[in-house]
Chains A and B, each alone.
Chain A
Amino acid sequence: MYTQGLDSLGKDCLRDETRDGAALESRFQARVDAEEKIEAKDWMPEAYRRTLIRQISQHAHSEVVGMLPEGNWITRAPSLKRKTILIAKVQDEGGHGAYLYSAAETLGVARAELVDQLLAGKAKYSSIFNYPTPTWADVGAIGWLVDGAAIMNQIPLCRCSYGPYARAMVRICKEESFHQRQGYEIMLTLARGTEAQRAMAQAALDRWWWPSLMMFGPTDTDSKHGAQSMRWKIKRFSNDELRQKFVDTTVPQADYLGLGVPDPELAWDEAAQHYRFGPIDWSEFERVLAGHGPCNRERMEARCKAHEEGRWVREAAAAWAAKRSAVAMQAA
């Protein structure tokens, strides 16, 4: 495998010598424009590779950190059925993380390096997971709104120009939409439940509504990477387009629950066929992104603690594997 990889690399390099960078780049862009998938061994601009590594690893970190807020309710889930669904959901998110780290590794970066960046505070993850889950209804709201927003963001990624990422997203999106339905079902049960359950559901919607809208990122005029990612077909829709789509889809769902969306300016615009919504508090977004959200410290501490306390376990596994392969070599 290894030598074969070197051979094909050699041939590519020979061909590459006859072309200049601009020609390679225009051939690459032509393939992207033709909706061909770029694969791991294909030539790609260095900036494309870096953009993908950043985006995929942030996505992977988000899945892993995202296990924490909902994991907070595994031991207290109010029925055995809900406990089962919740453990499976949190497990799915961990699986998404593993799957995405593998996709990032196809771009020539090791998972251990990416994890180190996260733990050193050098890598970002979705800010949404820096909010707390004080009640059971937060588990419902996360499934409904956070997984719901994730789906809006991620469905277009199933057509991302980079093959390994696109394929990972196909599988992940299927599970996310399952999570979204389960979350909504928790909210529906609470909304149809006792007075206290209803109040719990409303309070959770109040907490998660605006942070969910912020998940789509800065407004288009302030978005740093938007245009280039669009050209590379990593991104297909702008942040504001996706956010509008989310609002349009979600408001009727809130209506069905009989819960109020915490936005006095929210109104249906008949002419535009869209909901108009009030201004987003971008100063809060910036604050949480900069590390000053309610749970940034707890989330990172939890990840660092798991990593540190697991070190001797990982070392033992590596030592054992090394002994095994030494024994196997001797036998051969």
Chain B
Amino acid sequence: MTPEVRYVLRLADTNLVLAQRLGEWVGHAPALEEDLGLANLSLDLLGQARLLLARAGELEGLGRGEDQLAYLREESEYFNLTLVEQPNGDFGDTVVRQFLFDAWQLGLYEALVASGDAALAAIAAKGAREAAYHLRYSGGWLVRLGDGTAESHARVAASLARLWPYTNELFHDDDVDRAAAAAGIGVLPSALAPPWSVRVDQTLAHATLARPAHSSFVWYGKQGRHSEHLGYLLAEMQSLHRAHPGASW
């Protein structure tokens, strides 16, 4: 697998796994409006994931389509960021995970619109509009929870502390990233850190939340080495599809 294919799969898998997590909320959210809002996020990310999977399949040239890539790869062949596979937890955990991700994805897409890969640039252009909307949603909730009641502040501060270490991976360059950047199709993750920090710090201030201290914790989900949670997510997602090899749906 070329670094280009791998790079696109990282983006696709990150979207797909987060869309799957958000889908778990639908029907169980704190209010009807949040059922609708979380479903919107899930649908947008799933839509982007499908375009990205299709592009990865084309670049790979082995005839694998979106469903083959989504349903028939093993855990170690999934290259999503470790952050997005973390369980939903309570609504505060979901909001923090989403906020940290949205702020990253918006910066990513803003940079990727200049990708030498026309398909990727087009996905990024559409994605940037959606990510900006998602960031307003997750950031808005982060502020309401952080600056809401004493209970919500304590809860969401704990969520932030719990999830913060996973953000290291978002800005960690490896050989695949460097190759994709050198080929002019990708963006170096480390370059996304400064604009992300600005966005995050601004909202944290409104939310009356302190930025957690840097941690040396690093996961390599994007290299196929995952936390304990992804296996269950994929087992559930792929179960029906795998039970009927070759069937169409």
Interface residues of A (CB under 8 A from B): 64, 67-68, 71, 74-84, 87-88, 90-91, 94-95, 97-98, 101, 136, 186, 189, 193-194, 196-197, 302, 305-306, 309-317, 319-321, 323
Contact = CB atoms under 8 A, between A and B. Distances in A.
17 contacts: A68-B27, A74-B23, A75-B20, A76-B237, A80-B16, A80-B53, A87-B39, A88-B43, A94-B32, A95-B36, A98-B32, A186-B249, A312-B151, A313-B91, A313-B92, A313-B145, A316-B151
Main secondary structure of the interface of B (DSSP, over half): helix
Interface stretch (B116-124, B127-135, B175-183, B238-246): B238-246
Contacts of A321: 144
Interface in B153-202: 155
Contacts of B23: 74-75, 83, 87
A309 B27 contact: no
Nearest to A308: B30
A90 B91 CA distance: 19
Interface string B133-158: 00000000001110111011001000
Given A71-B28, A83-B46, 4 more contacts: A94-B26, A197-B247, A312-B152, A320-B144
A330 to B, nearest CB: 16
B148 A316 contact: yes
B24 interface: yes
B244 A194 contact: yes
Nearest to A97: B32
A317 B140 CA distance: 10
Contact of A76 (B27, B31, B40, B240): B240
A315 B31 CA distance: 11
A193 B29 CA distance: 35
Nearest to B69: A80
Contacts of B91: 309-310, 313
Given A95-B36, A302-B27, A313 B152 contact: yes
Given A193-B248, A196-B244, A317-B144, A312 B28 contact: no
Contact of B26 (A74, A78, A84, A186): A74
B50 interface: yes
A94 B42 CA distance: 15
Contacts of A74: 23-24, 26
